[in-house]
Amino acid sequence: MLLQSLYGLKQVSRVWNDTIDKHLKSMGFEPADADRCVYTRGEGEDECIVCLYVDDMLIASRQKAVIASVKAGIAEKFRIKDMGRARFILGIEIDYDMERRTLGISQKAYTESIIKKFGQENAKPCLTPLEPGGQLTKADEPQTEEDKAKMKSKPYRSLVGGLMYLACGTRPDISVAVAKLSRFLENPGEKHWDAGIKVVRYLLKTKDVGIVYDGLLRTQLEAYSDADWAGNRDDRRSVSGMLLMLCGAPVVWRSTFQKTVALSSTEAEYMALSDCVKECIWMRRLLKDIGADQVGATVIYEDNQGAMALAKNVGYQARTKHIDIRYH
């Protein structure tokens, strides 16, 4: 008979989350509506925010005494390891400059481990993550069994996975390259491998690059949206790109292939704009949950006149009725 959760069982993560959720609520915390792993308590100078990632926690407050009391409350029930001021979490390095009131995040150590893993320490650095104007297509996939066997010796999935963690963490500049490389995980070719290694060689030159948030700037959200119409030569799907900025630096970024084929550049841009709006709505909810309510509308920068006109026009148009329900 099993009387408690056993380490290694598939139910353990759920049981742990229920347990820590119940304890944090007993301490007066409430989970954010936009993200159930973010908890808040209090207002103003007494506000405290707890960010939960499985059993790793970040505790933020303007008052050190508030942080100390939260740690003590958690320690009453759980055995904790106090790491002090956050300097490193989930492979991300955190750097504070209290004088300038900036907070920087980077992944230099992780980047160096990728460079070393794929033997590029002494390689010639690249200036860009992708070849300008270059295309990666299914035509570059190996066709013969001999070519496929040759590619099996190359850890392509490991390469793309490592780059993806960087792209999602602190390196939006490689997001487009990683999105393109991810399309060929099932049957990568030599050209795809070389393109992945080129990204690593780009990291060799830019391993110190990170993101810096300026605490002197207003926490006013702004966004950018763009699309590459019919950029995928294999199926002519377009690529959507979005960037959400806060305190002078990106907080959300994404480069993804659209689900359907856009019939015009206006349609491609409009679909990208729709996805950007959805992300802005979610981010505004999260900011409200943590006490950073947005004043007025969020400005989204877009460069397609047709898409902007369509966004402002709520009337019926025969040429755009096929995108009306999902995106309008």
- Assess whether pLDDT exceeds 90 at residue 212: yes
Model's pTM, two decimal places?
0.89
User: Going by C-beta distance under 8 Å and a sequence separation of 6 or more, which residues neighbour residue 249?
Assistant: 211, 212, 213, 214
pLDDT at residue 154 is higher than 70: yes
Instruction: Work out the percent of the chain whose per-residue pLDDT is above 70.
Output: 94
Say which residues have a Cβ less than 8 Å from residue 320's Cβ, sequence separation at least 6.
Answer: 267, 270, 310, 328
User: What is the pLDDT at residue 167?
Assistant: 97
Average pLDDT, integer, range 288-293: 94
Q: What is the pLDDT of residue 26?
A: 97
Average pLDDT, stretch 298-316?
Answer: 85
Domains and CATH numbers, the chain: 1-84 (no CATH), 108-206 (no CATH), 217-327 (3.30.420.10)
Q: What is the pLDDT of residues 4-54, one digit of tens each?
A: 667 777 788 888 999 999 999 999 999 999 999 999 999 989 999 999 999
Parallel, antiparallel, or unpaired: how do β-strands 38-41 and 30-31 relate?
A: antiparallel
Say which residues have a Cβ less than 8 Å from residue 34's Cβ, sequence separation at least 6. 282, 283, 285, 286, 288, 289
Average pLDDT, rounded, for the chain: 92
- Residue 233's pLDDT band (cuts 50, 70, 90): confident
What's the pLDDT score for residue 315?
62
pLDDT above 80 for 256: yes
Higher pLDDT, 234 or 117: 117
CB 204 within 8 A of CB 115: yes
- Sort 85 into a burial class: Cβ within 10 Å, 0-12 / 13-18 / 19+: exposed
pLDDT of residue 63: 94
pLDDT at position 326:
65
**Whether pLDDT at 280 is above 70:** yes
Amino acid 133: pLDDT: 81
In three-state secondary structure terms, 245 is strand
Dist. CA 232–CA 80, nearest whole Å: 49
